[in-house]
Structure formats: structure tokens, C-alpha cells
Amino acid sequence: MTTPGLRERKKRATRAALREAALRLALERGPDAVRVEEIAEAAGVSPRTYNNYFASREQAIASAVSADREARIAAAVAARPAEVRLAEAVTDAVVEQYADTGAQAPEALLLVVTRPALREAFLGTTAGIEPPLAEAIAARLDGGAAPETARVLAAATAAAVRLALQDWLRPADGAGAGGLVVPTGSLSERLRAALAPLAPAFDAAEQQVRPERRQVRRVVPNLQVPGEGAQRRNLEFYRLLGLEEAMNHGWIMTLFAPGNPTAQLSLATRDGTAPVVPDLSVEVDDVDATYAAVREAGAEIVHSLRDEEWGVRRFFVRDPNGRVVNVLGHR
């Protein structure tokens, strides 16, 4: 990431002085009793200069509560090792910075949750994530993606964070938009859930830049059962958990979650062509390259690479724990 020049450092210092003055005065007097002119005077600048940085006192106070979080998120993404998935690097950075509410004094957070105008201004600070995060994403993509890719991914991240915060700061039932707000649930979990749908887009951007990186499409546990009767009993049980039958070759039945098709479970009485039922199946985008990689690493091949009549190309390999893994790709 680029190092700011002297002018930019001065602008950042002025912005920091304004927001710190705004928060201090709001905590001393209450935000409704603070005027823009007083914030400017406390920071040692003119009201005109204040207006170059913030459109309202609420915006300055909210900026103080967020406290350069957007820059810390970008820095955390840039600091992640290159082998970490971009989606994982961004998600972990966002969660680390937003879930650490202990970084702010409780009274500062109380201002946000008790005043609608400050809540809205606080949500608005998420837009600040976009510029520094776009720069960090572009750096991780080594300039190999389309110019707009990093900006779109950063904008989508900012929108997802805003949605998670909106849910977390939702007014209590029946309180109305200006009523009591009690943050509910885990903010970390809300952030991860909001960012999860963006993972395929992050992965696709990385795949454009580093096509040699193989992708795992799904991982399916395989449960060995004594016969078709046991398959049916298991199907009835797992339907209670929300799974439905997706495929049935007789010797193997695969169940899936209708709302999440990659969440799957297989019930096998035997294997169609191999002497052993694998413990799990891993579908990859390039099964031949994966086969070459595991052989080069010296892993034990249990069932050699071949095309199967039901439309997959696969091999079995034993992992360090002794479990047999069915590695496959669809033809």
C-alpha cells in the first residue's frame, strides 16, 4: 500500500483532531448540545475547514467511534500471508476490527445505540471501508484482475458490513425507528454470515490471477451402512434435519440441503468399483493435477485414477490419519 505524503498526513491529523474533539464534547455535554463551531474551535480550525471534512456533528462523532477502523481493515488484509484465500483474509480482518468493541469506551458506544441520528451516521462510516480495502485487494491480486474488480469487491464488502451492523443495531420490537436499541446476538457471527455470499466472487477473482491454484468445490462425508434398509432408515432420520435425497445408485445414496446444495452426505453400502468405501469425497476442479500432486508428495494411492461409468473421474488416496479420501471431478 502507498505511503501518504506530507499533505495527506496533515489532512489525516486534522480529521483526527476534529473527530476527537467532537466525541469529547459530545460525551461532556451530550451530542445535542454541541455545535459545529465549538468542535472546530476545540480542534483549532475554522468552521469552514470543519465542513471540508464532515457534513454534520453526527458524522464527526460517528467517525470518532469507528476510529480509523477502515484503514486497520485494509492493513490487516495486506498483512495476511499470500497463501491465505482472499475471502478469508477480508472476512477475518473485518471481524477482528468490528467485533473488538472493547477498543472503544462504553460511553462512546452508548451514544451510538441511544440516538437514531448517530446510529445512521455510524452505519454511514462503513462506506469508508471501500477506498483503502480496494487498494489492499488490488495489491493481493497483483494487478492481474480487471481494474474495477477490486473496487467492486470492496464496495460489496462495505455493503455487507452495513447490513450486518443494521441487524445488530435494530431497534427493539415495538420501539420504532427512534426507540431503544439493544445490540443482540454475536456481531462476529452476523458479519461472517453477511460476508459469506461474497466468497465465490473473491475466489473467482483469485482464480483469474492464479489459475494454477486448484479449487475444492465440495466435501462430502461418506457413511458406510449395512444395506439398503439402513439407507432408508438413515434417509428418514436425516430428513428430520432438513436433508433430502439427491442421488441414488443403489449402492450409494447422496443427501443434500435444498437451501445449500453443497451441504451433502452420502450413505454407502459398498463402492461401485473400488474394494473399500471411502471415508469422504472431495470434488476438485482439476482431478488430474491433484492426482499428480498427491503422487509427487508420496501419498498412498488406494484406488488409481480412472473414469467411472456414472460420469466422474476419480481416485482414492489415504490421508495421514489413515482415512480414505475419494478425490473426484465431474466429466
pLDDT in tens, 108-157: 667 776 777 877 887 888 888 898 899 999 998 886 677 789 999 999 99
Q: Which residues pair with 219 in a beta bridge?
A: 282
Please name the residue ranges forming H helices in the chain. Answer: 6-29, 36-43, 47-53, 57-66, 69-79, 86-99, 106-114, 116-124, 130-140, 147-168, 187-195, 199-209, 228-240, 287-296
- All structural domains of the chain, each given as residue ranges with its CATH number in brackets, are 6-209 (1.10.357.10), 216-330 (3.10.180.10)
Non-local CB neighbours of 298 within 8 Å, separated by 6+ positions: none
Please write the tens of the pLDDT for every residue from 159-207. 999 898 888 777 655 455 455 555 566 788 889 999 999 999 998 888 7
Q: How many CB atoms are closer than 10 A to CB 180?
A: 11
Q: Tell me the average pLDDT across 233-249.
A: 94
HSE (CB half, 13 Å, CA atoms) of 288? 2
Beta carbons of 150 and 181 less than 8 angstroms apart: no
Query: pLDDT-based confidence at 304, cuts 50/70/90?
Result: very high
pLDDT in tens, 52-101: 988 888 888 877 777 678 888 999 999 988 878 899 999 999 998 887 65
The mean pLDDT value for 308-320 works out to: 94
Residue 107 has pLDDT above 80, yes or no: no
The pLDDT score that the predictor gives to residue 313 is 95
Question: Span 102-108, mean pLDDT?
Answer: 58
- Residue 93: the pLDDT is 92
At 244, the pLDDT band (50, 70, 90 cuts) reads: very high
Predicted local confidence at residue 273, as pLDDT:
94
Nearest to 21, CA basis, from 57, 56, 55, 68: 57
pLDDT score, position 12: 78
Is the per-residue pLDDT at 20 higher than 90? no
- pLDDT given at position 71: 83
Is 228 a residue whose pLDDT tops 70?
A: yes
Residue 212: C-alpha distances to residues 207, 241, 325 (Å): 8, 38, 22
> What pLDDT is stored for residue 169 in this prediction?
76
Instruction: State pLDDT tens for residues 267-284.
Output: 999 999 999 999 999 999
Top pLDDT among 45 and 179 is at 45
- The answer, yes or no, to whether residue 285 has pLDDT greater than 80, is yes
Count Cβ atoms within 10 A of the Cβ of residue 66 and give its class: 0-12 exposed, 13-18 middle, 19 or more buried: buried
pLDDT, position 275: 92
pTM above 0.75, yes or no: no
pLDDT at residue 5 tops 80: no
Which triple of cell numbers denotes residue 175?
420501539
Residue 237 is predicted with a pLDDT of 97
> What is the pLDDT of the chain when averaged over all its residues?
85
